[in-house]
Amino acid sequence: MYVDTVLASGSTGVLAARFGVSCAITSQFIVGQTIVWRVYGNNETLGGAVMDSSNTVKGYIEVAGVKDPLPLTYGNHSGVAFWTAVLKTGTATGLYNTLGVISYKVTMIAKDQDSIKVLSTKLTRKAVNGVPVKVDGQYVYERVPAYKTVKVTPALKGAVGTWQSNFTASSLVTLYAVPTA
């Protein structure tokens, strides 16, 4: 799982005009700015398949001090698809305003699987330039790799992945007060 944070476009607050660059990776935010988490995940059970809305039940971010987890939504952002969650900060009621390091945990839950693709082999008639090969009047066969879909019963429980930052202190997501003159 890969997780980063960026400043949301349409930034608000007294410093929006100065620090309004959106979608630039950062871990430092000022009260009034909107924090966006970007999450990419791969499911090892599915051979490293990208976790998208077709194979993922849900994803969310638990932020210390926020009652309800922030739901992750999957979508295309300027040609690249990934999961996002938003935390609006500010001094108004209902906005996040706890200064300092923001502690959080990301969770992704894959869908249960009742069928999987497995690598197998199949016999095929060997051909050279489209002409079947014979040896002593018998066709020659060769084994070739092929994927096939196999039903699984009972269904395989969807994997659950979590991620928490173990970055150095200077890289942790941090909320600062608006500087005073």
Break the chain into its structural domains and give their ranges: 2-112+158-176, 115-152
Q: Are 41 and 81 in contact (CB under 8 A)?
A: no
pLDDT value, residue 14: 63
DSSP state of 167: -
Peptide bond into 145 cis (omega under 30): no
Query: Exposed (0-12), middle (13-18) or buried (19+): which is 116, by Cβ within 10 Å?
Result: middle
- What sign does the CA torsion over 129, 131, 134, 139 have? positive
pLDDT value, residue 11: 62
pLDDT value, residue 119: 87
Radius of gyration of the CA atoms of the chain, in A: 25
Query: Exposed (0-12), middle (13-18) or buried (19+): which is 161, by Cβ within 10 Å?
Result: middle
Domain 2-112+158-176, CATH number (from 1.10.287, 2.40.128, 2.60.40, 3.40.50):
2.60.40
Q: Are 43 and 159 in contact (CB under 8 A)?
A: yes
- Tens digits of pLDDT across the chain (181 residues): 999 999 887 666 666 656 656 778 889 999 988 999 999 999 887 778 899 999 999 999 999 999 999 999 999 988 899 999 999 999 899 999 999 999 999 999 999 989 888 889 999 999 999 999 999 999 999 999 998 999 989 988 898 999 998 888 888 999 999 887 6
